[in-house]
Amino acid sequence: MRKGQYRFVTGFLLVPVALYVIFVIWPYLQTFGYSLTDWKGQSQTFRFVGLDNYRKLFQDDVFLEAIWHNILFLVFIPVITILLALFFAFMLNAGGRGRAGGVQGVAGAKFYKILYFFPQVLSLAILAVLFNAVYRSDGGGLLNGLLIKLGLVDADNPVEWLNEPNMVLWALLLVVVWHGVGFYLVLFSAAMQSIPRDIYEAALIDGASRNQSFFRITLPLLWDSVQTAWVYLGIVAMDMFVLVSSMTQNMGAYGGGPDHHSDVMSTVMMRNFLYYGKSGYACAMGVVMLLLTLVLSVVTLRATRRERIEF
C-alpha cells in the first residue's frame, strides 16, 4: 500500500516538477552561464570571460546608483504601504466605537474597502498612463493645475515632477504606494476578522485606548500577514521596471531620467541587454538581482520571525 501511495504521489508531482525545472530553473542556469561570457545577444558565438562582467558591475557608476535607488524603494515602499494598510484596516474593522454592540468598524466600512481596493484592479501600465497625466510638467497636469489654482505655483514655472532629480523617485514611490495599499488593506482586514471580538471588548473594558489596542492586540496577532506583505513589497521594490520605463523616458531606452536619477537595476539591465547589445553583461546584472532578492527574502523572514501567538 505504501509503495502504491508513493507511486501515486510521484505521478502527480512528476509533470509539475518537470515543467518548473524546464521553465524556471533552467533559464536561471542559462543566465548564469551567459553571464560568464561576452555574449552579444544576436549571435550564437561568444567567448568565455569568467568573472569579468561581475568585476565591471562594481565599477559601473550607473548600476551602483541604481542599486542605491532600489535600496531607497526597499526601505520606504514596504514601510509606508504596510503602515497605511494597517491603519485603514484597523479603522475599518475595529475603529468604530460609537454604537452599542461592542467593537465595530467605522460606518461604511464595506464601501471603503471597495474604494481602497480599486487601484489594484488597474495594471501598472495603465497606472503609468494615468500618473503621467497627473505629473505633467505644465498647467494641464492634475498636480500642477491644482497648485496653480491655489496660487502655490507660478503658471509660467510649474513643477517638473518627473524631471527633477530630487523629486522623481518620490513621485514613483507615491504611485506604488497608492497602487498597493488597497490590496494589503484587504489582506489585513481578512486577518483581523479572524481575531475574536471578545479580545477587543475585554481591552475596552480595561480602559485600553485605540493605540494600545492596535499595538498590543492587532499588530501581534497580524504579524504573520505583515511578514508576508513585507517580503512581497520588498520584491516589488527590487523590480520597479514597468513604472520607471513607462514614466521616465528622458534617457531614451527604458527610462531612467533625468540623467539616471530614476534608474533601477532592472532598467539598467534591460538597456544593456536590448539597447547596447551587452547581453552577457546584462545577464550578470540579472544574477546579482536574483541573489540580492533571495538574500532580502531570507533576511526579512528571519528578522521578522516571532513566536506564534495562538488565540
Per-residue pLDDT of the chain (311 residues; tens, 9 = 90+): 455 677 777 778 888 899 999 998 999 999 999 999 998 877 777 899 989 999 999 899 999 999 999 999 999 999 999 999 998 888 887 765 545 445 566 677 778 888 888 888 888 888 988 999 999 888 888 899 998 988 888 888 888 888 888 899 999 999 999 999 999 998 998 888 887 777 877 877 777 777 777 888 888 888 888 888 998 998 899 889 989 988 887 555 677 778 888 999 999 999 998 888 899 999 999 999 999 888 888 888 787 776 665 55
Which residue has 499588530 as its cell numbers? 219
Residue 173 falls inside a structural domain: yes
Residue 14 falls inside a structural domain: no
Residue 252 falls inside a structural domain: yes
Q: State the pTM of this model.
A: 0.85
Residue 28 falls inside a structural domain: no
Q: How many residues does the chain have?
A: 311
- Assign residue 71 the CATH number of its domain: 1.10.3720.10
CA dihedral 161, 164, 167, 169 (to 10 degrees): 100
Residue 290 falls inside a structural domain: yes
How many domains is the chain built from?
Answer: 1
Query: Which residues is 104 bridged to in the sheet?
Result: 96
Residue 249 falls inside a structural domain: yes
Query: HEC profile for 18-54?
Result: HHHHHHHHHHHHHHHHHCCECCCCCCCCCCECCCHHH
Contact 46/37 with Cβ under 8 angstroms? yes
Residue 42 falls inside a structural domain: no
Buried b (16+ CB within 10 A) or exposed e, 156-168: eebbbbbbeeebb
Buried b (16+ CB within 10 A) or exposed e, 111-140: ebbeebbebeeeebeebbeebbebbbeeee
Domain span at 179 = 50-303
Residue 37 falls inside a structural domain: no
